[in-house]
Amino acid sequence: MQSRNLLDELKFQITNGKVTVRLILINLAVFILLMLSFILNKLNVFEFNLINAFRFPTNLAELGFKPWTLLCAIFTHFSLNHFFFNMLFLFFSGLMFEQLFGGRKLIYLYLLGGIVGNLLELLSTLVMPDRFPSHYVVGASGSIMAIFTAIAIYRPKTPVLLLGIVPIPIYILALFFLVKDLVGLGSKDEIAHFAHLGGALMGFLSQLPASSKHNLLSRLSNLGSRDPSKRSQQKRFKTDEEYNQEKMNHQEKTDKILDKIAKSGYDSLSRQEKEFLFKQGQK
């Protein structure tokens, strides 16, 4: 098999790749664009500062002139370290979430987590301007926190290698990040803690029962359903225990049908038994 060159690989990932990879590529494209803008500004070749057009302001007057930043900011990073570690975190948590819930829900949760996180930063400035003065918010951290929190709630005992060595349950790491952001509120560390908490909130709400009015993720996912009768139903992914039990039940039923064939022949099977056997052979 002939290997693809870099350009062909990028085209393949954009058209056929995982949603997680596509999100990373969007972040990468924005990062490269902003870095080029920064360099051209330094060289006095390009006077317009694109950074101002992408960062989200927690000032209503300024936000009124560039409302698109509510969305753009969650794909924006101004430093290599910020970009690299966010994308590394998005890669592992995004792939895990996508495997559990699918690419469409990953997109919705990424957008919801980031947007709600930004709005929470805005709300903190409006409610407590003395403690939280106007500032700018950039980065995918709120989106990533939503994804990571959702996984931690759905599969709390999933092992994560701390420092690549020590395995700990994923919920322990999620609680650590939550406490870290709560403690960091009001500090001058230039970290958007409210954005992280807003993302974590959306991750939590995404794991509520599908019928809950607070589960916006389920409502958005159902909008794309072509069958109106199925819009109120959310596919629930089985736990490991449920999957193993169902697999065992199917095997027992298959064994009984095979025993019946050995004793009385294939024609002795009922229509339902033949259909079941056919479906099992298709898997």
pLDDT digits (tens, 9 = 90+) for 58-83: 999 999 999 999 999 999 999 999 99
Say what the pLDDT of residue 89 is: 92
The average pLDDT across 25-44 equals: 89
Phi-psi region of 192 (alpha: psi -120 to 50; beta: other; left: phi over 0): beta
Q: What's the pTM value of the predicted model, to 2 decimals?
A: 0.74
For residue 268, give both structure tokens.
Answer: 């002795």
Alpha helix stretches (DSSP H) within the chain: 6-16, 19-42, 51-54, 60-63, 69-72, 80-101, 103-127, 141-154, 170-184, 193-205, 216-223, 240-264, 271-282
CA–CA dist 139, 124 (Å, integer): 18
Tracing tokens 């910020």 back to the chain, one arrives at 82
Say what the pLDDT of residue 176 is: 92
Say what the pLDDT of residue 51 is: 84
Query: Exposed (0-12), middle (13-18) or buried (19+): which is 159, by Cβ within 10 Å?
Result: exposed
Query: Exposed (0-12), middle (13-18) or buried (19+): which is 220, by Cβ within 10 Å?
Result: middle
Q: Rounding to the nearest 10 degrees, give the CA dihedral for residues 222, 227, 232, 234.
A: -60
The answer on pLDDT for 280 being more than 90 is no
Q: Who contacts 47 (Cβ-Cβ below 8 Å, separation ≥6)?
A: 41
57 by DSSP, 3-state: which?
strand
Say what the pLDDT of residue 121 is: 94
The average pLDDT across 241-250 equals: 70
The average pLDDT across 50-54 equals: 86
Say what the pLDDT of residue 234 is: 44
Looking at the chain, the whole-number percentage of residues with pLDDT higher than 90 is 43
Say what the pLDDT of residue 231 is: 44
Paired sense of beta strands 159-162 and 166-169, if any: antiparallel
